Amino acid sequence: MKPMKNIVEVIIDIGSSALNQTFYYHVPESLQQEIEIGHAVLVPLRNRTQVGYVVGYVEQTTMNNMKDIKEILGERPWFDADMLDLARWMEQYYMCSLMDALNSILPTGIKNRVKKTELLPPKVQVRYEKWACLKITSDKMAELLPSLVHRAPKQATMLSILQHEKEMPVRLLLKQAATTHSTLTALNQKGCIEIKEKEFRRDPFTAIQVEPDSPMSPTVEQHLALEKIDKEWKQKQKHPLLLHGVTGSGKTEIYLQTINQVIKEGKQAIVLVPEISLTPQMVKRFKARFGNDVAVLHSGLSLGERYDEWRRIKENKVKIVVGARSAIFAPFKKLGLIIIDEEHENTYKQSCHPRYHAREVAIRRSMKEDALVILGSATPSLESYQKALKGEYLLVEMKKRIDGRALPPVKLVDLREEIKKGNKSILSYSLQQAINERLEKQEQIILFLNRRGFSTFVLCRECGLVLRCHHCDVSLTYHADHHKMHCHFCDHQESVPDRCPSCQSPYIKYFGIGTQKVEEVVKSTFPEARVLRMDMDTTSRKGDHERLLSAFEHHEADILIGTQMIAKGLDFGNVTLVGVISADTSLHLADFRAGERTFQLMTQVAGRAGRGTLGGEVIVQTYSPQHYSLIAAEHHNYQAFYEDEIKARQELDYPPFSHIIRLLITSIQEKQTIQGAETLGNHLQIFANERGCHVLGPVQAPISKIKNAYRWHIILKGENMMALQDTVHQALAAFKSAARTLHVDIHIDVDPLSML
């Protein structure tokens, strides 16, 4: 028997996460059949009308004068009980409101908003288009056509097209028949055709053409890995698998074959990839193997495409979704497998509220829905590798590249020596020579730079002043193309001053290098080379990634210069040289994960070289060639890196030996920010002591101001996550009234990856 649905529990969708509370409503009889968990509803609340979501049924209540649900909005429920359960877990673990958690799950753009009393429509809706459908029998057609050929040739053309197609979009029909609407109307009036509205699919794949392929016969290592996966797949309680395989060891082929197995058994698969720039090549490989069974979900799609893909998943029309972080919420009903490629990547952690990590959500979701999780990486996160060593995850290793191709030799070049040799270029002599050799052999080169314009600050050579943004307290970045400085936090722009604002010296200099600068130097050093640059500036429009990568793939350029976004996943057989302009930028970040990031980045970058039969070489330029992360990267030695790094973490009691919750306090007023941070800090201290947790700070955050808001933070550290969460709950409750009078905002980050 279906549960009674006369009373429902509703969470209200209002911006403020302060109202993390549900309300009960009576369901009018006319809606009782239809209403489901996940439906958007219109409800009265405190003399206003609000949009909310149904999160539960209630059989009985002692409450009287309960108000009525006004209306069900939208064509369907937007989440089911399993997803609601996941949201409730996020609420608890990441300490966000339930509505914040649900906002991550709801498809983008489907929301109705209430503005005063007027209900605004959602940003995205199902799109329809007109189809013409043939209504007459073939006998009738045979009778009619000859008479039309002379009297109304256009109608005849149109009919004979439809005779073939039976039905087709009006848009196409008019084009094929080379005629106008009047012809259509005439046929309609004669009763020959009928015009129907049909759903129109906004298809993100129209630009992607792929040849189908078939499974490759696995190598010995792949075979062993597949066996282990298969064994775990058959277990009742499945452990997540950590697939640690060097770049080019054939991990993707493992994913493809495992998915094949899973969908054969009627289940579905989610594949997460770290970044949108990765998706074109990855998506192609999945499309080649699984064709129309694949959907994609990422922010590079238009709202309409996204919504239509989401519905294809929801309506069981696809079996596999490939996507970025939020694809972990793909509404599959029979999820069997979740693959997280490059599991160590930071992009899996959402950097705004709620700050969830897709890997943790995946593991939680898999337990509930009995799915298998595969985490793949050439450089697993320290957290995951430690779990694998402890047996919490199953470790599967693939140490060889396909065909036994060697990993490319990595050479560290000491930049301090270059200055001594009198070389002032950003390209060391070794790198210049290596580039020359490749150009002569018509092989390709990738030059990698950490972060767009990261070090292109503007500095006074006399007093050392670095020009900073007034709103954000970060250094401004110089952009050569229009000779201006930009702030990469708030987008503030200003011209470069003629004289130092502090000491009036005229010796202002642009320091460090951005991708544009590298491009300039490369072009002047190798005037004959064809150069492509890939960074945020050159990839701001939809399709830019694909276009640039495809141009490089087809050897329309010799050298590709880029940021992080070219470090991962790319697979070009003709690339035989990868140069890292400076490894130092990531090494000197004020963050305990700096060493790990650098090792990962160098290994990933190195993996771009020698993917084909030609072999390859990597040259890393640095001012710190003695750093253990770089030495480990030089020798392709993950274990050596892991041992050094885990020791350092243990000494300082950093994750994975402890958990961290970061509390960021922000306000427009500096005094309030400090006062708020101190008050909250005191509360935390009291509750932390009782629970064996440590409070660090409050201190000014490394970026002390963003968009005019001052920023202070407090780090809470301890072995037991529940004790940490509990401490925060208690302290926040005690802090509530102070927060209101001080007008400060508190941002909570559980397991933070960035401390800036």
Q: Which residues bind ligand ADP (CB under 6 A)?
A: 216, 218-219, 222, 245, 247-253, 402, 571
CB of 401 to ligand ADP, least distance (A): 7
> Taking CB under 5 A as the rule, does residue 472 contact Zn ion?
yes
Nearer to Zn ion, 149 or 490 (CB): 490
SS3 sequence of 558-587: CEEEECHHHCCCCCCCCEEEEEECCCHHHH
When CB distances are held under 5 to 8 angstroms depending on the partner's kind, the choice from ligand ADP, Zn ion, none that residue 210 binds is none
Closest CA to 378 of 607, 219, 572: 607
Q: Which does 492 bind (CB under 5 to 8 A by kind): Zn ion, ligand ADP, none?
A: Zn ion
DSSP string, 90-117: HHHHTT--HHHHHHHHSPTT---EEETT
**Is residue 235 within the footprint of Zn ion (CB under 5 A)?**
no
User: Would you say 184 or 273 has its CB closer to ligand ADP?
Assistant: 273
Residues 6+ apart with CB under 8 A from 363: 240, 373
* Of 445 and 474, CB closest to Zn ion: 474
By CB under 5 A, tell whether 21 contacts Zn ion.
Answer: no
Residue closest to 566 by CA, chosen among 532, 613, 530? 532
* Shortest CB 499 distance to Zn ion, Å: 8
- 488 touching Zn ion, by CB under 5 A: no
Amino acid of residue 647: K
Q: Is 471 exposed, middle or buried (0-12, 13-18, 19+ CB in 10 A)?
A: middle
| 3 state SS for 714-747 | EEEEECCHHHHHHHHHHHHHHHHHHHHHHCCEEE
**Token digits of residue 403:** 């065909």
Cβ 254 to ligand ADP shortest distance, Å: 7
Contact 204, 303 (CB under 8 A): no
Q: Beta-strand (E) ranges in 273-359?
A: 294-297, 320-323, 335-341
Contact residue for Zn ion among 340, 460, 476, 513 (CB under 5 A): 460
User: Under rule CB under 5 A, how many of the chain's residues touch Zn ion?
Assistant: 15
Q: How far is the CB of 699 from Zn ion (least distance, A)?
A: 21
Rounded least distance, CB 515 to ligand ADP, Å: 25
Residue from 57, 489, 623, 628 binding Zn ion (CB under 5 A): 489
Site string for Zn ion, 406-445 (x = CB under 5 A): ----------------------------------------
Cα separations in angstroms, 470 against 460, 492, 589, 699, 706: 17, 9, 22, 20, 9
User: Measuring CA to CA, which residue among 591, 583, 593 is closest to residue 630?
Assistant: 583
Closest CA to 698 of 686, 680, 710: 680
Name every residue whose Cβ is closer than 8 Å to that of residue 397 and which is 6 or more positions away in sequence.
Answer: 244, 245
Among 159-167, 278-286, 430-438, 455-463, the segment contacting Zn ion (CB under 5 A): 455-463
If contact means CB under 5 to 8 A according to the sort of partner, which of ligand ADP, Zn ion, none does residue 406 touch? none
Instruction: Name which of Zn ion, ligand ADP, none residue 251 binds, using a CB cut-off of 5 to 8 Å depending on partner kind.
Output: ligand ADP
If binding is defined by CB under 5 A, does position 505 make contact with Zn ion?
Answer: yes
Minimal distance in Å, beta carbon 460 to Zn ion? 3
User: Considering the complex, what minimum distance in angstroms separates the CB of residue 467 from Zn ion?
Assistant: 10
CB of 500 to Zn ion, least distance (A): 3
Nearer residue to ligand ADP within complex by CB, 402 or 531: 402
- Closest CB to ligand ADP among residues 248, 562: 248
> Tokens 């609000």 identify what position?
50
455 binds, among ligand ADP, Zn ion, none (CB under 5 to 8 A by kind): none
CA distance 609 to 580: 12
